[in-house]
Amino acid sequence: MEIWINPACSKCRSAVQLLDAEGAEYTVRRYLEDVPSPDEIRAVLGRLGLEPWDITRTQEADAKELGLKEWPREAGSRERWISALVEHPKLIQRPIITADDGTAVVGRTDEAVRDALGR
């Protein structure tokens, strides 16, 4: 199990605390420092069953500067969105937990973190 976190994020800290309390074995990835590659983003999206715009923090300053709210949310724009996430990792929703069964969850709630633990 791996969890992508920003240590400054309270949701990330809560998820890590819950994983620790449950005795889970996991690896921490500080994705702002160890930025995921386009292939890693694609793989996580596949595990999540989501599109890149579904895991994009559109309220961030970078998102507003890029005008992401105006970008098309369609297959033809998918790579453009993935490139934006790689170039501006702060835009990636957090925390993302990759579960042992090959799936993943966006662990913003205790329920989502527990769901990942149960997989």
Residue positions annotated with a catalytic role: 9
Nearest by Cα to 11 from 100, 103, 115, 93: 93
Order of strands, sheet of 2-5, starting from the edge strand that comes earlier in the sequence = 27-30, 2-5, 96-98, 104-106
Token pair of 71 as six digits: 């970008």
Nearest by Cα to 3 from 35, 29, 21, 33: 29
